[in-house]
């Protein structure tokens, strides 16, 4: 397929052409009507539905190549189109179309003593470069959110999903063409050369912000080399803490779902913390369920003692508390109580998503206040940390940054505010 051949491509020129086109499209999309944007989103959904068989064929080609390269079951799972994921992708487009358009909203408008009115106007960020791996549905999620928020975007997926991404890109282009929006409002880098990433992350004359989704090595490279602000999360070391005031039935279901619902996702639980007073009641039951599901357990000394007659448990090392497994492996630690759980999360967590299971309101409030993560939950699975589940329609990623956007990044996270002033001839005295 010639689109993937980089031997005859001047990558610098290719990427600069994308940047120039995106910058021009961003100016036009900034002024697009909500109706135009919604027409495009719904049309993209229709194109995806019409192209379902073609998309499945292209996705299977990526899967075949992935198996040949032995990329691992977890990554293959992230790469695979299933009927459910397909439907979710289309539903996400319709949800984004149904969301209020944030662009043009004026807030905090107030009069100053000299008679001027000062407020804040919500505006697009401009051109957003998005670099991601494995999950081709990100192509649609990212395109829909950038489009609805008035931005232009340049998408660069991983080489392992290039056929799926290019096929989705055709659907996106066909949908945009029905709306009157500029074709370059969403562009896909159709080359797998790593040089494309290197150029994209340094095109600060055309790209206003980067969104990075992928493995640790990719995020570290972008963080180190980018000359553009980056919305990212490096690790998803998520915790569930089962408090001594937990409802045991809730605790069992939450802890099981948080780990086993899907392994290769950033909001899967990687470390389970259990208060010592309740550990003997819940850990053996959980261990049996995890073992049946094929989850490898790595535990502290107390965990090993409690589970010695239940199932095989490996001795956890210090490194296990930092690890984002993205696989059926779980670290378990018995802690003295709430203070110890918070201290553990503070030391080993990645500021992504952490949950407490408790019926004690005071403890729940302390956990929410003191745990410094982008999502902090009470009596809910970490797997719910997701833009779709939060009512954002979709998400462009989950940010653990502390500036601008934090947590699942939806429409508002892809906008900024500028001050607007309405006067009637006032001058500075």
pLDDT at 5: 53
Q: How far is CA 22 from CA 86, 154, 160, in A?
A: 28, 7, 25
Distance from C-alpha of 162 to C-alpha of 79, rounded to nearest angstrom: 10
**Same domain as 374, residue 291:** yes
Neighbours of 294 (CB within 10 A): 9
Is position 291 within any domain?
A: yes
* Phi, psi (rounded to 5 degrees) for 212: -115, 125
Q: Which residues 6+ apart lie within 8 Å of 407 measured at CB?
A: 374, 375, 385, 390, 398, 399
pLDDT at 40: 97
Q: Which residues 6+ apart lie within 8 Å of 300 measured at CB?
A: 316, 332, 333, 334
What DSSP string describes 351-407?
SSEEEEE-S-HHHHHHHHHH--SSEEEESS-GGG-STTTTTSSS-S-EE--SSS--E
Neighbours of 256 (CB within 10 A): 19
Contact (CB, 8 A) for 159 and 67: no
**Same domain as 320, residue 216:** no
Q: How far is CA 180 from the centre of its chain?
A: 29
- Containing structural domain, residue 42: 2-233+397-422
208: three-class secondary structure by DSSP: coil
Given a cut of 50, the residues of the chain with pLDDT beneath it are 1-2
CA dihedral of residues 406, 411, 416, 419 (deg, nearest 10): -130
* Phi, psi (rounded to 5 degrees) for 294: 85, 20
**Same domain as 327, residue 202:** no
**Residue 411's closest CA among 141, 177, 157?**
141
**Same domain as 409, residue 348:** no
pLDDT at 255: 98
Distance from C-alpha of 340 to C-alpha of 348, rounded to nearest angstrom: 12
What DSSP string describes 155-198?
EE--GGGHHHHHHHHHHHHHHHHTTT--GGGEEE-----HHHHH
Phi/psi region, residue 67 (left: phi>0; alpha: psi -120 to 50; beta: rest), is alpha
pLDDT at 300: 97
Distance from C-alpha of 21 to C-alpha of 40, rounded to nearest angstrom: 19
Neighbours of 109 (CB within 10 A): 12
Is position 371 within any domain?
A: yes
Q: How far is CA 288 from CA 261, 293, 410, in A?
A: 16, 9, 38
**Same domain as 242, residue 114:** no
pLDDT at 402: 83
pLDDT at 2: 41
| Token duo for residue 267 | 């909001």
Q: How many helices (H) and strands (E) does the chain have?
A: 14, 17
**Same domain as 36, residue 163:** yes
**Same domain as 171, residue 252:** no
**Same domain as 320, residue 195:** no
The DSSP bridge partners found for residue 334 are 274
Residue 205: CA count within 13 A, CB half-sphere = 8
Question: Domain with 99 in it: what CATH number?
Answer: 3.40.605.10
Question: Domain with 375 in it: what CATH number?
Answer: 3.40.309.10
Instruction: Give the pTM.
Output: 0.84
Contact (CB, 8 A) for 200 and 154: yes
Is position 392 within any domain?
A: no
Is position 184 within any domain?
A: yes
Domains identified in the chain, total number: 2
CB burial readout 205-225, b (16+ within 10 A) else e:
ebbbbbbbbbeeebbebbeee
**Same domain as 161, residue 36:** yes
Is position 12 within any domain?
A: yes
Is position 427 within any domain?
A: no
Neighbours of 227 (CB within 10 A): 11
Is position 428 within any domain?
A: no
Segment holding 111, helix H or strand E: strand 106-111
Is position 429 within any domain?
A: no
Segment holding 347, helix H or strand E: helix 338-348
**Same domain as 31, residue 71:** yes
**Same domain as 367, residue 289:** yes
**Same domain as 204, residue 101:** yes
Longest dimension (CA), the chain: 83
């Amino acid at each position: 397929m010639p689109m993937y051949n980089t031997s005859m491509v001047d990558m610098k020129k290719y990427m600069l052409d994308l940047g120039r086109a995106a910058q021009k499209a961003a100016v036009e999309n900034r002024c697009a009507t909500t109706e135009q944007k919604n027409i495009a989103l719904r049309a993209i959904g229709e194109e995806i539905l019409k192209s379902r068989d073609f998309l499945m064929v292209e996705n299977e080609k990526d899967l075949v190549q992935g198996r040949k390269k032995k990329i691992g079951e977890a990554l293959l799972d992230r790469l695979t189109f299933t009927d459910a994921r397909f439907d979710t992708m289309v539903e996400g487009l319709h949800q984004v179309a149904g969301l209020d358009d944030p662009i043009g909203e004026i807030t905090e408008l107030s009069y100053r003593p000299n008679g001027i009115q000062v407020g804040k106007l919500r505006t697009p960020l401009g051109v957003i470069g998005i670099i991601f791996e494995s999950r081709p549905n990100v192509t649609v999620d990212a395109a829909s959110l950038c489009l609805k928020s008035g931005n232009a975007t340049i998408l660069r997926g991983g080489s392992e999903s290039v056929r799926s991404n290019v096929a989705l890109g055709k659907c996106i282009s066909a949908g945009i063409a029905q709306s009157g929006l500029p074709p370059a409002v969403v562009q896909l880098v159709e080359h797998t050369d790593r040089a494309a990433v290197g150029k994209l992350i340094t095109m600060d004359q055309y790209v206003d912000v980067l969104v990075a989704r992928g493995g640790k090595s990719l995020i570290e490279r972008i963080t180190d080399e980018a000359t553009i602000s980056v919305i990212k999360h490096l690790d998803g070391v998520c915790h569930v803490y089962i408090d001594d005031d937990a409802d045991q039935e809730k605790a069992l279901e939450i802890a099981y779902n948080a780990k086993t619902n899907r392994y290769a996702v950033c909001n899967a639980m990687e470390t389970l913390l259990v208060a010592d007073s309740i550990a003997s009641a819940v850990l053996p039951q959980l261990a049996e369920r995890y073992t049946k599901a094929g989850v490898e357990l790595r535990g502290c000394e107390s965990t090993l003692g409690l589970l010695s007659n239940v199932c095989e448990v490996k001795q956890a090392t210090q490194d296990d508390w930092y690890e984002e497994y993205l696989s059926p492996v779980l670290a378990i630690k018995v802690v003295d109580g709430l203070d110890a759980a918070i201290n553990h999360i503070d030391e080993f967590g990645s500021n992504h998503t952490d949950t407490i299971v408790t019926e004690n309101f005071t403890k729940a409030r302390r956990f929410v206040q003191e745990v410094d993560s982008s999502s902090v939950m009470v009596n809910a699975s970490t797997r719910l940390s997701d833009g779709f589940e939060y009512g954002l329609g979709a998400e462009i990623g989950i940010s653990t940054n502390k500036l601008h956007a934090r947590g699942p990044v939806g429409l508002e996270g892809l906008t900024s505010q500028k001050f607007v002033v309405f006067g009637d001839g006032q001058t500075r005295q």
